[in-house]
Structure 1
Amino acid sequence: MKPKLENVPLTSLSTTPNNSFIPMLLIGILFFVFGFVTWLNGALIPFLKIACELNEFEAYLVTFVFYIAYFVMALPTSSILTKVGYKMGMTLGLGTMAAGAGLFILAALVGHFASFLFALFVLGTGLTVLQTAANPYIVCIGPRESAAMRISLMGIVNKGAGFIVPILFTAWILTGMEPYSEQALASLTDVQREIALAELSNRLVLPYLLMAIVLVGLMLFVFYSPLPEPDLGEKVQSSNADWKAILKYPQVILGALTLFCYIGVEVIAGDSIGLFSQGLGVAHFGMMTSYTMGFMVIGYVLGILLIPRVISQQTALTGSALAGLGFTLGILFSDSQSQTVSQFLLGWLGVLPIPDPVLYLALLGLANALVWPAVWPLALQGLGRLTATASALLIMGIAGGAILPLLYGYIAHSQGDSQMAYFLLLPCYAMIFYYAVWGHKITAKETQPDVVALNE
């Protein structure tokens, strides 16, 4: 006897302003935490490349370890949320992140790259729990048609944090890096170099101590908050039957693959821009992730203004894919010595000019902004009780942030051409375009008639 799966609507919480304000506020705080911790990697990569004496491929192990945690921990997270609920899951996620920040302090004191990677994995594990709980929560807190708008609002908070953190990191950590340049370190004896690198690594202790304190405070804040628990249907334990059922929903499988490609290109755009800029002689390379995040914030604002009043979530996703393809071609074929496009777009704002390929790379933030908020509601449509399981599967797509940047780093290092290595982005945006136009329409009802029987 197969389990009966009720087709529970996604709008499970009251959507009146009084009832939705507190949940939106609390989730917004969590999305700020997502952005702060996640986009710190963009400035951390060139820092650890110096402090741990890494080549370009090794430096991208930072993103690999951080994002592979999403893939490894997504299934256990689904079981945790089913047992303890979304609110307690967020609390556990924040506690895990606080532990990761503490491990990062120990790694800074020890100075071994493997210790940093382990701490990053723990941080990524905590974020996995938070993301798996928070994203469907935002979808379920109101009408599905405006879900992309709500996630866009959260995206502004997330990428706003991503805009701020590289600036803070550069001002606090990357100031006075002249004694640690490749030429300066080469002139030192082995003992002197080890002392200098240890001093550089110790710069991370105080920032991550403050991060751990803030995360513990947020954990207690969420635990004692009045955040309601979304009602997604029958309260049953996650089982193999749930996973067998969810695998019969092609829009979820293709959605996970789309998010794999999207997270990969988003992380490449946000985390590789620092090293790419450094290679082209940009002095303020540590702040370059802020350029990408700034354009993403603009994209999220457009999402809030236009979705669903002017354009649909599907149209936004299609436009994002086409923009991504266009900007990628700009990265590949623009002159690395030219700053013409940068001066035209940003010069009137008084922003320091940057090479054109770097600007096109930053503009991918604009193309990427609406992909995440558009894919989630399209993929979760009509899943009811299977929402948590589907969410875990979609979260597994974040593994793209682990694999694709590492692949980019390998290509750039082996070919000695960081600019042309960005050709990797083209098939990823092609997949996003496919899902926007055709993939999300391939539903269980059309391709798997037996699934309908489960819902009767």
Structure 2
Amino acid sequence: MNQVKPLSSGRAAAPGSVLMPMLFIGLMFFILGFVTWLNGSLIPFLKIVCDLSNFQALWVTFAFYIAYTVMALPSAAVLGRIGYKRGMSLGLAVMAVGALLFIPAAQSRHYGVFLLALFTLASGMTLMQTAINPYIVCIGPRESAAMRISIMGLFNKGAGIIVPLVFSVLVLSGVEQYSGATLAALDAAGREALRVELSARLVQPYLVMAGALLLFTAIIHFSSLQEPVLDEGRDEPARLQRGVFAFPQVVLGALALFVYVGVEVIAGDTIGLYGHLLGVQNFAVLTSYTMGFMVLGYLLGVLCIPRFLSQRAALLLSALAGMLFTAGVALGSKSSSALSVALLGWAGVPPVPDTVMFLALLGLANALVWPAVWPLALQGLGRHTASGSALLIMGIAGGALLPMLYGRLSDTGQVQSAYWLMLPCYAFILFYALIGYRIRRWGGGGGDA
């Protein structure tokens, strides 16, 4: 562990002692958001470049998010050995390697190399996530942890708004010439030439990304970030033997994050595919709609938690809103744009079908789930906080599996009704908000969070 003066944990801290670490962590949340929400634009792009079905294209989300399951526990072990600050720097360096792998992937147009690059990127992000989420929880009072994570979410999802716009300008300019009808009209050689030209557009952006990640690696390494002091838990001998799995609130919290990340990725990463299917002209930037509503949700969290809204209440409202908007996606009109005109017409935002707008509104429902689950799940873990964080990070695997299931269902021709998959996910989040977070012992024991 680094030999540095630790930060106080779970107690009131001087504003100056919290501000600088939050700025550094905010930078890292922005980086994570930039890389994560690039997938929403990358999926329809690779579908064209590599000639994929919806199901095959969604292997992007699988390769990316399954890394969180594979690498979470190793990441916790790394943090235990080298500390949180050095773990953040190492995570950024691994991400830079993943960005560089996109160059041979683009040159070869081999889908497997693209997936390897995404897995490597996400492996570095797993180490980052395992470090920075408990860090931001422990940096100040526990009851305001969701507010601090909401501030970090503004950085993360703010990047999610910017990324599709940047990707559209740098990579998707003139993409209309790569439509299915245009490609079908060409011979095999013509299709190959167009796909090679399109794939080559990835080289320069990912080269710049790798350079930026290496720069940020140096910034964090030489920064004044201090190691956090984790909450002192009241461990009993039996719990010490069973480890983090002796704490139902964190195990159930990991399951809540599993379904949450699944629906978050479905809402953010399939909206472009769905919009393209419906003939929406600006389908490449639709992820920005979802991220915009997430930013609005985070702003509400910053303003309302804990002054007007408890972390549990925020989670409860999020689950109910998710169930409502899911019904809107599955049952909404594909021809009417009245909802988007009513909500965004004043800002001059191009209208989209109602069912697409309900999918974007899921960003608002999803925004406060992650910030609320973390402090509720980590309560009282003490020395198990690092492994508890790793277990919660493993829940991100929902982003690998549930979108794949959606892709399989949508390829059957039931694209709109496939979104019903999200309803039981929000139902489980509702269960966690009502009961799950209070369970402190397996077998029905409860307690106050």
Taking structure 1 as the reference length, the TM-score comes to: 0.93
Matches within 5 A, 1:67-216: 67-216=65-214
Aligned residues: 435
**Aligned partners of 1:99 and 1:212 also within 8 Å:** yes
Unaligned runs of 5+ in 2: 1-6, 233-237
Is the 2:319–2:365 contact (alpha carbons within 8 Å) kept by the matching residues of 1? yes
**Partner SS state of residue 443, structure 1:** strand
The aligned counterpart of 1:433 is 430
Give the letter for the 1:59 counterpart.
A
Q: Cα deviations across residues 212-232 of structure 1 (Å, max 9, x unaligned)? A: 000000001000000000122
Q: What is the deviation of 1:13? A: 7.6
Match of 1:265 in 2: 263
- C-alpha distance in 1, partners of 2:219/2:156? 19
How big is each residue's C-alpha offset from its partner over 1:69-108, in whole Å with a ceiling of 9 and x where there is no partner?
A: 0001011111001011100110110000000000011101
Q: How does 1:305-316 map to 2 (within 5 A)?
A: 305-316=303-314
Q: Aligned equivalents of 2:357 and 2:363: distance in 1?
A: 10
**Alpha-carbon distance in structure 2 between the residues aligned to 1:199 and 1:348:** 38
Query: What amino acid maps onto 1:390 in structure 2?
Result: G
Distance (Å, rounded) in 2 between the aligned partners of 1:357 and 1:286: 17
Correspondence for 2:415: 418
Aligned counterparts of 1:269 and 1:173: Cα–Cα separation in 2? 22
> 1:238-261: CA deviations, max 9, x gaps?
xx9868221110001100000000
How far apart in 1 are the matches of 2:332 and 2:251? 36
Q: Secondary structure at the match of 1:175?
A: coil
Do the aligned partners of residues 12 and 448 (structure 1) sit closer, same or farther apart at CA in structure 2, a change above 3 Å counting? Answer: same
Q: How does 1:377-416 map to 2 (within 5 A)?
A: 377-414=375-412, 416=413
Over the aligned positions, Cα root-mean-square deviation in angstroms equals 1.8
- SS of match in other structure, 2:203: helix
> Using a 3 Å threshold, how does the CA distance of structure 1 residues 90 and 77 change in structure 2: closer, same or farther?
same
Distance 2:242 2:278 in 1: 49
8 Å contact 1:324–1:364 — kept in the other structure? yes
Deviations 1:421-448 (A, max 9, x none): 0000000000000000110000139857
State the shift of 1:10 in Å: 8.4
For 2:3, the equivalent position in structure 1 comes to none
- Answer whether contact 1:243 1:389 (CA < 8 A) is retained: no
Moved more, 179-188 or 250-259: 179-188
Q: Which amino acid aligns with 1:309?
A: R
Change (3 A) 1:169 1:384: same
Q: 1:243 to 1:401 in 2, by over 3 A?
A: farther
Q: Is the 8 A contact 1:248 1:448 kept in 2?
A: no
- Of 192, 217, 220, which residue of structure 2 is paired with 1:219? 217
Structure 2 residue aligned with 1:22: 20
- 1:31 positional shift: 0.2
**Aligned-partner SS, 1:247:** helix
- For the residues of structure 2 that align with 1:299 and 1:12, how far apart are their CA atoms? 25
Which consecutive residues of structure 1, in runs of 5 or more, have no partner in the other structure? 1-8, 235-239, 450-456
Match of 1:359 among 335, 357, 360: 357
